[in-house]
Amino acid sequence: MFLGIELGSTRIKAVLIDNNHALVASGSHSWENALVDGLWTYSLDDVWNGLQSAVKDLAQHAKLEDVEAVGISAMMHGYLVFDSNNNQLVQFRTWRNTNTEQAAQLLTRAFDFNIPLRWNVAHLYQAILDKESHVKDIAFLTTLAGYVHWQLTGEKVIGVGDASGMFPCVDCDYDVNLLEKFDKLTASHHFNKAFRDIVPIVKSAGDAAGVLTAEGAKLLDPTGALKPGIVFCPPEGDAGTGMVATNSVRVRTGNISAGTSVFAMIVLEKSLSKVYSEIDMVTTPSGKPVAMVHCNNCCSDIDAWVKLFGEALSVFGAKPDINTLYEKLYQMAAEGDADCGGVLSYNFFSGEPMVGLEAGRPLLVRKPDGNFNLANTMRSLIFSAIGSLKLGMDILESENVQVDKLLGHGGFFKTKGIGQSIVAAALRAPVTVMESASEGGAWGIAILAAYLARKAVNETLEDYLENKVFSKNQGATIAPNEKDINGFAEYMKKYVNGLAIEKAAVDKY
């Protein structure tokens, strides 16, 4: 069996799959980020408590003694730095923080390559520019997945997909020319450590990346069921494992991962014609170039409204199951007016670089003569969840990027058909959701662990997925209908025009 663990924004999930890549059992642990001193963070104690809780939950449903290989995945980007004695220097700064605008702009200009605010190199350069006292002591900079993998195996390595969200990558390694430019930039600020010397070694899918140590086994599973010596695949980011979980690693395929954040990954045939601040260039776990449209906000505002509706029901003594509540409310969206009847919402819990927001203010706006009802409110909330994504995808359309198939996964697609049909309308393309989509990145990293252990000689990741994982799992596909296409287009006109309202709220409230 193969163990995959993913540390997501709101849940840490562990899954076991068998030799046929079918789910055997899963376990999970809920957690939340915290805003500390103006920065979004998770404590490392919460990381280990959550990992142990998820594995313990998993162990109630399956035996861990037969695990053959393990993979670790997590939220990409951010800032985790340690000194030469392996002490954490500052709190973990997650992808959600937008305090790195100066650094991102300077690096994008210097590299002629888009460096988003959330990338590790932007966080590092911002700390250098801000003359933070800890910078002189940095010995190691990594991602969350890279950190957990390091603690479990002792190996400072990272999968190329995750690495490509730290620093630009070419041919399954950091871009040599840009490394030289960055080192010159930082040296001018009296930071005299080469970037390559303080970051993990890059590995590709299928490479061996270490084994579980005795100390790591105790950290992950204090009961002792997991034994030292189990092999690990390279740790990956949630973007890469989402591509694997949806069989979206070939050229001209793409996937949309929608949960707390939302991003689309499109595997490219050729480079884009120019640099776009809205488009990240990353890679698949095997190193193929990918255009990534990433938005910090997706379902958090929907979650808040669902909670409110649940509280309203509880006043009258009704206490529906949370999954049922989500399902019924999502289904109401299908009954709303095509363009949401004059109800407009913005889902910005945090800053959103896609629309130039440094901070978030969730808003619901409506005209007095609009058709304000539950169906239109839910429809507007769901439309809003992918509004900023639509703006980024329009750029790829202008570049004539071709996509043969688009696959969806994440909590947004959990209620059958609703989110899927709305995304299809927004992007004017068929969207497929597979039965395994709800397992998400944890299943994807478990597959990468299986690929390490079971791949044939010279078998590519693309062929392994096509022939051994997804040959019988084609999923359910929904094509866009004209009514929804036109309704979403009308909604987006109001959405774009109304961004001034959102920006005013950020400035004044």
* Burial track 457-483 (b if 16+ CB lie within 10 A, e otherwise): eeebbbebbeebbbeeeebeebebeee
Q: DSSP label at 431? A: E
39-41 and 289-295 strand pairing: unpaired
Domain ranges in the chain with CATH number 3.30.420.40: 2-239, 246-296+389-478
Tell me what pLDDT residue 259 has.
85
Separation CA 473–CA 248 (nearest Å): 13
What DSSP letter does each residue of 251-317 carry, written as one string? Answer: TTEEEEEESSSEEEEEE-SS--SS--TT-EEEE-TT--EEEEEEES-SSHHHHHHHHHHHHHHHHTT
Fold of 2-239: Nucleotidyltransferase; domain 5 (3.30.420)
Residue 169 and residue 175 in contact, taking contact as beta carbons nearer than 8 Å: yes
Tell me what pLDDT residue 436 has.
60
Separation CA 470–CA 432 (nearest Å): 13
Tell me what pLDDT residue 33 has.
93
Q: Each residue's pLDDT tens digit in the chain (509 positions)?
A: 999 999 998 899 999 999 999 999 999 999 999 999 999 999 999 999 999 999 999 999 998 999 999 999 999 999 999 999 999 999 999 998 989 999 999 999 999 999 999 999 999 999 999 999 999 999 999 999 999 999 999 999 999 999 999 999 999 999 999 999 999 999 999 999 999 999 999 999 999 999 999 999 999 999 999 999 999 999 999 989 989 988 999 998 898 988 888 989 999 988 899 999 889 999 999 999 999 998 989 999 999 999 999 999 999 999 899 999 999 999 999 999 999 999 999 999 988 989 989 899 999 999 999 999 999 999 999 999 999 999 999 999 999 998 888 898 888 888 888 999 999 999 998 899 887 655 678 999 999 999 999 999 999 999 999 999 988 776 889 999 999 999 999 999 999 999 999 999 999 88
* Burial track 134-148 (b if 16+ CB lie within 10 A, e otherwise): ebeebebbbbbbbbb
Residue reference for tokens 């997650």:
94
Separation CA 313–CA 111 (nearest Å): 54
Q: Which of 357, 361, 333 is nearest to 491 (CA)?
A: 333
Separation CA 442–CA 67 (nearest Å): 15
Amino acid of residue 122: A
Distance of CA 344 to the CA centre of its chain: 26
What DSSP letter does each residue of 109-159 carry, written as one string? Answer: HHHTS---TTSHHHHHHHHHHTT-GGGGG--EEE-HHHHHHHHHHS--EEE
Amino acid of residue 503: K
Axis crossing angle, helix 374-385 with helix 300-315, rounded to the nearest 10 = 160
Residue reference for tokens 């899918």:
205
CATH class of 246-296+389-478: alpha beta
Q: Which of 361, 339, 341 is nearest to 501 (CA)?
A: 361
